[in-house]
């Protein structure tokens, strides 16, 4: 069983019809996962047999008359990290709050892992992690700046501040799989930066291809599925996810008295009201009862 993560920026004329047809194609192949569809393209992660995923990719390429194959990052898994198959219509396939920013029209310069290592070693280059702060805390590259965002929608405010101070310096930007930094580099070009680079395929592609002795990644990489994070070998890492606030939790945080499985963690325990705690507690009881019966509890992700 494989997980494939993929995206493509393009002009999608009828996203609603494409969404419905794509749902049918995925269901027919027995796939699980989530795919977002918008006028600017598609973005998703799906799991199943490699041949079934390949069949859906071929369907996309034929349906949209693509001039190149769908590129994906592949990872082997022992069990599916998704619970259901959902294709959803969105305003943006990655939410910057700027649907007018179109990376397939203009974006930064893609660089390989080898070139990336040169850029992040250059003190004149500003290295920007375009992910959220909770992802940054799990792992990042040396010298990377944390924009201090809780969602990608907050990134334009950081970008404007950076433009006010560092517009004349080269930028090297990265994210998990490439999609956020592809849109972020397009924004930076609009703000007046002239030399903007981004890591092709993101962190996951870098970890997949870079030999251990040349791998400069530090920590683990947060992923948006039930694995929570992966290590340098792309194996499931040592983090769990708080059901209440969705933040990744380390072993130390799970040892805190504020951590209650499925209910709260040190990051959110003071933000939960009594009603929310009661609902989360009841859900956790149902999960534990299902475990005792040997069932899989299917609840909201």
Whether the model pTM is above 0.85:
no
Q: For domain 109-219, which CATH number applies: 3.40.250.10, 1.20.1440.120, 2.30.30.240, 2.120.10.70?
A: 3.40.250.10
By the 8 A CB rule, do 138 and 102 touch? Answer: no
225/174 Cα distance (integer angstroms)? 20
DSSP string, 243-285: TTT--EE-HHHHTSTT-BTTTB-TTTGGG--HHHHHHHHHHHH
Handedness of CA 273, 274, 278, 279 (dihedral sign): negative
| Alpha carbons 129 and 234: distance in angstroms, whole number | 19
Task: With CA atoms as reference, report the closest residue to 109 among 43, 171, 158.
Answer: 171
| 143-176 tens-digit pLDDT | 999 999 999 999 999 999 999 999 999 999 999 9
Would you put residue 294 in left (φ > 0), alpha (ψ -120 to 50) or beta?
left
Give the closest residue to 79 by CA, choosing from 48, 102, 103, 57: 48
Q: How many angstroms separate the CA atoms of 173 and 89, rounded?
A: 27
Check if the beta carbon of residue 75 is closer than 8 Å to that of residue 6.
no
* Tokens, residue 245: 């606030």
Give me the active site residues, please.
175
Give how far Cα 278 sits from Cα of 144, 169, 185, 244, 262, Å. Answer: 40, 51, 43, 12, 11
Domain residue extents for the chain: 2-89, 109-219, 241-293
Cβ count within 10 A of residue 224: 16
Kindly give the pairing relationship between strand 72-76 and strand 2-9: antiparallel
Whole-angstrom Cα distance, residue 27 to residue 55?
12
CATH number of 2-89: 3.30.70.100
Give pLDDT tens digits along the chain (301 positions).
999 989 999 999 999 999 999 999 999 999 999 999 999 999 999 999 999 999 999 999 999 999 999 999 888 888 888 889 999 999 999 999 999 999 999 999 999 999 999 999 999 999 999 999 999 999 999 999 999 999 999 999 999 999 999 999 999 999 999 999 999 999 999 999 999 999 999 999 999 999 999 999 999 999 877 788 888 888 888 888 887 888 888 888 889 998 988 888 888 888 888 888 888 888 878 777 766 776 544 443 3
């Amino acid at each position: 069983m494989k997980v494939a993560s993929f995206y493509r920026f393009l002009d999608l004329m009828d996203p609603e019809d494409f969404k419905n047809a794509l749902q049918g194609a995925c269901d027919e192949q027995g796939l699980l996962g989530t795919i977002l569809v918008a006028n600017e393209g598609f973005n998703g992660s799906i799991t199943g047999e490699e041949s079934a995923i390949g069949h859906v990719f071929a369907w996309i390429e034929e349906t949209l008359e693509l001039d190149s194959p769908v590129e994906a990052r592949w990872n082997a898994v022992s069990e599916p990290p998704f619970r259901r198959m959902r294709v959803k219509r969105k305003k943006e396939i990655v939410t910057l709050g700027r649907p007018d920013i179109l990376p397939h029209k203009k974006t930064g310069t893609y660089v390989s892992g080898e070139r990336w290592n040169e850029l992040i070693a250059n003190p004149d280059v500003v290295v920007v992690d375009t992910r959220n702060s909770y992802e940054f805390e799990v792992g990042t590259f040396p010298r990377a700046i944390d924009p201090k965002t809780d969602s990608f929608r907050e990134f334009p405010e950081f970008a404007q501040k950076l433009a006010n101070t560092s517009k004349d310096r080269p930028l090297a930007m990265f994210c998990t799989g490439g999609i956020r930094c592809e849109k972020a580099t397009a924004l930076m070009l609009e703000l007046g930066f002239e030399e903007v680079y981004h890591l092709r395929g993101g962190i996951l592609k870098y970890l997949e291809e870079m030999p251990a002795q040349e791998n400069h990644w530090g920590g683990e990489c947060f992923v948006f599925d039930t694995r929570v994070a992966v290590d340098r070998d792309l194996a499931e890492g040592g983090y769990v996810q708080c059901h209440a606030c969705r933040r990744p939790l380390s072993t130390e945080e799970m040892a805190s008295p504020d951590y209650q499985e499925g209910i709260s963690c040190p990051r959110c325990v003071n933000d939960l009201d009594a009603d929310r705690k009661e609902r989360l507690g009841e859900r956790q009881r149902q999960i534990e009862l299902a475990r005792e019966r040997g069932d899989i509890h299917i609840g909201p992700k």
